[in-house]
Copies of this chain bind each other. A is one copy, B any other.
């Protein structure tokens, strides 16, 4: 019982070993992360279409809640770009941007995602994420990065556009480009250039000066903080808000009101599918991030436990006026580089952000939205991975097609359609491939016991024996294909007496394929050809022995193809019902290379 409790609450384990040294390390990391992620939290609230304080709220309790269940020592929880975009797209369908209904729908969405994630954790459904292939994730993330960057351009230009796909956003920019607001651009453009420079040149410069990689990482990631501080100072000094530059403005001081969000059944029904997709993306992204971070330190995470942690975080976010959260890439990397040791660092970050929200929220008043948008644009452009497209395509046409389809559909039909299409397509391509298995006629490599593809190697064959190797498990989708292949082959070799199906790569034979094998056996028997099997695996043989098939089989099951070859290669006499165990040596040698 205690052990089970410990399984569900991993903090019981690490809290027992907690000491002053670990605390010092975690606290320093938490202070660094707090300073770095506040601009980001405000920015992602903007991206999700919410007032800035929502971003702070979503960074307090969720981080603490995750600590209760999470197994990732350095995973940091809060608003992230991808999920904020998905939230905006989903909520935009059911409520007017900027309305009270919009805020409450965002909260409801976070609650639904949290409940779904938590339930998946309790039901140990973490494996479901395995069914989303890397190319689909890659295409989805690249497309989302492009969508987010495009949508944020409006804040840098000081115009107003809307839309959840590249076509609408692009047209919007095209129409409003002439209305660009000078002062806003004067703030936003330098911020973009500065952030780009920091990210792309500073790191190289610092490492040339042989700084520690970790220090470099933290300095580079301080770019947004520096940009925000400077821009805030400029706007405040020059009172640029009086000249139409959009600023964050009043952030209500104090902690969020704690309460269960209301939500009609109709609203819940409308948000259920997006919530499910957000849950899956949250899980896939957070867990693969946690995996990578843990692997670097030779630690392990437990995916099902991560589901509980992420679920608790989202429920906590919904109860405290936040929105959908996940394990964030940049905040986790900062946490890792700042040497966080346990999940306590995350909880402390939550507490520190809470303190700032409680006492210092007025410092954000003059922060220009253009600079927040610039930090988002630079951050998400790192998600765009065009090289992956080329490499994936070159490695496999199927995987490349899944990636490009997900990318294009996400860009032009939105995130929900994009990821659903990608997942469906990748599963269909897999099924399609297994439905047309590779198979090869094999012959003996002279002087050996090896049998290889007669088209790739010089081999010995016999006019009386045909050996077909099937490189796939036999199941309903490829049973008919196998049947057609066998029937086509046997008419090409009229002297044929024995047909051997070589099964070293057959990991499973389902009921449909078994029926097909029975049909093939009958058809071959009618044509005077026996069916044999060779190299059948243990688990497959166990199953076959439970069926009637082996009784009906006109030939034998050979342990090795070589045994089959020795016994059958010279047998030209038509098989008789009673010579199953006999071996017949014909005068015709019947070998040809």
Contact = CB atoms under 8 A, between A and B. Distances in A.
Interface in A123-159: 127, 130-135
Contact of A505 (B435, B487, B505, B526): B505
Scoring A130, A132, A392, A394 by chain B CB atoms within 10 A of each residue's CB, the highest score goes to A130
Interface string A472-513: 110111111100000100000000000000001101101110
A92 to B, nearest CB: 27
Contact of A456 (B135, B391, B472, B538): B538
B130 A476 contact: yes
A262 interface: no
Nearest to A506: B505
Interface of A is mostly: helix
Given A134-B515, A427-B431, A298 B526 contact: yes
Interface stretch (A30-38, A104-112, A539-547): A539-547
B431 A392 contact: no
Nearest to A427: B431
A40 B394 CA distance: 58
A357 interface: no
B438 A507 contact: yes
Contacts of A547: 391, 395
Nearest to A399: B511
Nearest to A450: B560
Given A298-B527, A538-B456, A476 B511 contact: no
B427 A512 contact: no
Contacts of A398: 510
Contact of A300 (B400, B487, B511): B487
Given A298-B526, A456-B538, A507-B505, A133 B512 contact: yes
B130 A435 contact: yes
Contact of A433 (B471, B505, B508, B543): B508
A519 interface: yes
A477 B475 CA distance: 18
Interface string A174-187: 00000000000000
A258 interface: no
Contacts of A392: 511
A279 interface: no
A547 to B, nearest CB: 5
A160 interface: no
A293 to B, nearest CB: 13
A538 to B, nearest CB: 6
A361 interface: no
Scoring A431, A472, A477, A481 by chain B CB atoms within 10 A of each residue's CB, the highest score goes to A477
A573 interface: no
Contacts of A134: 476, 511-512, 515
B435 A481 contact: no
Contacts of A477: 130-131, 133, 430
Contact of A133 (B391, B456, B476, B522): B476
A394 B453 CA distance: 36
A504 B505 CA distance: 7
Contacts of A487: 300
Scoring A395, A487, A523, A539 by chain B CB atoms within 10 A of each residue's CB, the highest score goes to A395
B394 A546 contact: yes
Contacts of A538: 453, 456
A396 interface: yes
A294 to B, nearest CB: 11
A537 interface: yes
A437 interface: yes
Interface in A515-532: 515, 519, 522-523, 526-527
A426 interface: yes
Interface of A: 127, 130-135, 295, 298, 300, 391-392, 394-396, 398-400, 426-427, 430-431, 433-435, 437-438, 453, 456, 471-473, 475-481, 487, 504-505, 507-508, 510-512, 514-515, 519, 522-523, 526-527, 537-539, 543, 546-548
7 contacts: A127-B480, A130-B435, A130-B479, A131-B477, A134-B511, A396-B511, A505-B505
CB-CB nearest 6 A-B residue pairs: A133-B476, A399-B511, A134-B512, A471-B507, A133-B512, A505-B505
